[in-house]
Amino acid sequence: MRRYELTDEEWNRIASLLPPENSGKQGCPQKCSRTILHGIVWIARSGVPWRDLPERYGSWQTVYSRFRKWIEDGTLDNIFRVLSLEAELTELSIDASIVKAHQHSAGAKKGGLQTKSDTAVVEPAQKSMQLQMHTVIRFIL
């Protein structure tokens, strides 16, 4: 067994949830669903682009098209739903990655706060707090 591939026990739990390999259609026989699923899992776990899929999983176009087909017909949703029912909370992991926002995403104008002569400007948060206090006082009275 190679890195990122399913064990026989894992495969046996989901094999019945996949569509049958022999569809009865003429043409080139389909690649084994297990190999395709290994390719999909390899892409998901490694995070590489589809074109960098190792050849042992078949053509990346084949694996990608089967992935799209299983997404559209709900096969992968069904697998995840069944596996999530069996999941134990001890196996739960949370990603702690950090995503930095672009400098323009903050919404602030260039140059910082503009002040008139030497008078202090009330911050928007302070204005909001004053408005809330004013509303509370009016409600009480």
40 pLDDT higher than 70: yes
70-98 per-position pLDDT tens digit: 999 999 888 888 877 776 766 566 666 76
Q: pLDDT above 90 covers what percent of the chain? A: 18
58-73 per-position pLDDT tens digit: 999 999 999 999 999 9
Please give the model's pTM, rounded to 2 decimal places.
0.57
| pLDDT score for 134 | 46
| pLDDT score for 136 | 45
Taking the CA atoms of 42, 47, 50 and 52 in sequence, report the sign of the dihedral they define.
Answer: negative
Rounded Cα gap, residues 34 and 13, in angstroms? 12
Contacts of 4 (CB under 8 A, 6+ apart): 38, 41, 42, 45, 46
51 pLDDT higher than 80: yes
Rounded Cα gap, residues 75 and 73, in angstroms? 6
Q: Which of 34, 67, 39, 66 is nearest to 54 (CA)?
A: 39
Residue 38 and residue 6 in contact, taking contact as beta carbons nearer than 8 Å:
yes
Between 127 and 109, the higher pLDDT residue: 109
